[in-house]
Structure 1
């Protein structure tokens, strides 16, 4: 799927393009309409739950947990450190800069407050991400599967995060369009968007890994055929890791340890990569002793993600999608600490849903009512669990 013949956009005659543009636009509109309907319904359920328990929904959406850290960075820069224990130090340097920079830009250009600006950025990014997910899936499997994929992404158990002042929508937007650029051979766009994704979140380097893997394969293929490698391919590959690397090195320089400073900040938050030992210990604790509902639910979601990745491999998905999703899954599984946040870390891993989207389309064509029941069940779970997470659980997302 990464060869030049398959990366290039399909050629369309001038007369045919106008005839085919309207169905494509209509299909995208349908997908976005379903996405908006799903998220607005989820917001309505959350708002009702919040008001019933004496909370304000917009406050919960805009100023919960990590959102407060991002708002602080947007307003004051990187200045905040909390010393909770000798070996537990929460520094705002753990949070990547792109999202607070966008919030700062919105508050500078508009009369919106920080939390309102954060929600505007997140909601806009979620819509852009849905468009990118649709475009990528439509190229691979057609418009029906693309629509189903967007709907399934909107109905994930943790999809409430797409409506909060969090960074996952921003990362997913850049990731989806970067992967689409790779599949269509637009290497400069792919590298630039990957660099921006790397400035959004710590696991944003998954996008750069996907671009680099696809670029390496394409370079190898061209050299094997004694063909010239274009400057855009080299440049796109070089750009891809710059965003993530630049911030990690900047934090390292600020902390006096160029290569290890950022990872020490994460370690003091209780987050480090230990090849899954911490995750396995916590999973054993859940199985033997139990815990609050959020934790076993997180375990089920992570286990489902592993199964879906196996199905993605079996479907022989394009290399960039496998690398991107595999790195996100590796970070979620291999990192210790904040077990309840692992489903959120996997929210940008939308390619995992491709096998389900294809199965849903087949079911809808053969047994429409069965597909309707499945979607209804997923919607009920998503809306109820989202409201529970934000309003009731009192657990960091």
Structure 2
């Protein structure tokens, strides 16, 4: 009888002990909840870095200060002034209209003031910090919404697509778009998960950020109404969430009314800026006044927008997301705002990107990645052209 044989049989056992069965499965445990999120945030961050790189190259070639264009132009200047001096500033433009800083909602300048107080930075730099951080939080929330509805891969692509939106360069500016979109995306995700009080609280904060929060408030209300019709009852948490949702938006409107002594003061301020609601008349007049090739191109763009909305409906997107998307598009089109700002105003409507996101998610990675990279370069080039130009986004 050969004795060492049992000893040999124990060798494989001893060698395999440091590698328990759980170790090969280890990546699958954290990968499912965390890896897609990291992929979405990494992809989004890559799009913004590409945009910043294109801007830096273009700024160096033209002798401009790219960083100044990000934190010290157009609306950014108004937010910084509010952060540093509070409300009460106004200017009279050449046509006699009075532009008041009361047109700007208070959350971003409040954050700029708070950060510049506790950190060694000025309010303008604090605005960039808020915007860039909020952009990542927004991409995370957008990813979660997309993953909740159409799967993890679609959620990742959706977050990256939001980063290559034509006016995505605004996401790198000290503007409110990223902050508002972050709050809106997580509010909608909370609704999709049935966490209505959290959704309402986030909606309050969104209502202190941009007037577009009216679309988010409406989406929550419409969803609750549909639940009431379907179930003939509403849980208390849903009622509470819907009731608190408009408090931020409404609170600022009331504040301006009390300050100015008129219940319509905020809307009067907006009208002085040329942002009154006209049902789309200004948009129609703008199109008619264009040369016919430009008018045809703009009509084609509006037709594409209509197609995206139709595809969102055809996808049977969840009611809160669909109502929010249509609401943001509607608010962006029926106002008399400067036309160049309308694509930016629609940027928080990330639901518009779900149809192409689902299509790209079905494609192979070797196809989707070059497409997204090309879109990032195109978006960056358009952003550099706009930022280094003369008109506001």
- Partner SS state of residue 364, structure 2: helix
Alignment of 1:112-123 (within 5 A): 112-123=121-132
Of residues 283, 289, 298, the one that matches 1:279 is 283
The corresponding residue for 1:237 is 242
The answer to whether the 8 A contact 1:298-1:339 is kept is no
The answer to whether the 8 A contact 1:306-1:329 is kept is no
State the alpha-carbon separation in 1 of the partners of residues 298 and 50 from structure 2: 23
State the alpha-carbon separation in 1 of the partners of residues 297 and 200 from structure 2: 36
Which deviations, in whole Å up to 9, do the C-alpha atoms of 1:170-196 show, x marking residues without a partner?
000000000000000000001011111
CA separation of 1:375 and 1:143: change in aligned 2, threshold 3 A: same
Alignment of 1:125-136 (within 5 A): 125-136=134-145
Where structure 1 has 5 or more consecutive residues not aligned to the other structure, the ranges are 1-15
Which deviations, in whole Å up to 9, do the C-alpha atoms of 1:123-162 show, x marking residues without a partner?
0000000010011111111111011101111111100010
The answer to whether the 8 A contact 1:87-1:268 is kept is no
The answer to whether the 8 A contact 2:281-2:336 is kept is yes
Which deviations, in whole Å up to 9, do the C-alpha atoms of 1:257-315 show, x marking residues without a partner?
11x11111011111111110110110122243859xxxx98776554333211110111
Shift of 1:364: 2.5
Shift of 1:375: 2.3
State the alpha-carbon separation in 1 of the partners of residues 65 and 35 from structure 2: 36
- Partner SS state of residue 134, structure 1: helix
TM norm structure 1: 0.88
Q: Which moved more, 1:159-168 or 1:84-93?
A: 84-93
Alignment of 1:1-397 (within 5 A): 20-85=29-94, 87-223=96-232, 229-258=234-263, 260-288=264-292, 302-364=302-364, 368-369=366-367, 371-391=368-388, 393-397=389-393
The answer to whether the 8 A contact 2:311-2:355 is kept is yes
The answer to whether the 8 A contact 1:62-1:119 is kept is yes
Where structure 2 has 5 or more consecutive residues not aligned to the other structure, the ranges are 1-24
State the alpha-carbon separation in 2 of the partners of residues 95 and 25 from structure 1: 37
Shift of 1:65: 0.3
State the alpha-carbon separation in 2 of the partners of residues 337 and 236 from structure 1: 31
Q: Over the residues paired in the alignment, what is the CA RMSD in angstroms?
A: 2.1
Runs ≥4 residues deviating over 4 A: 16-20, 296-303
The answer to whether the 8 A contact 2:142-2:185 is kept is yes
The answer to whether the 8 A contact 2:215-2:331 is kept is no
TM norm structure 2: 0.89
The answer to whether the 8 A contact 2:149-2:317 is kept is no
Aligned length: 369
Structure label with greater radius of gyration: 2
Which deviations, in whole Å up to 9, do the C-alpha atoms of 1:337-388 show, x marking residues without a partner?
31000011011010100000011122327xx43x344324312211110111
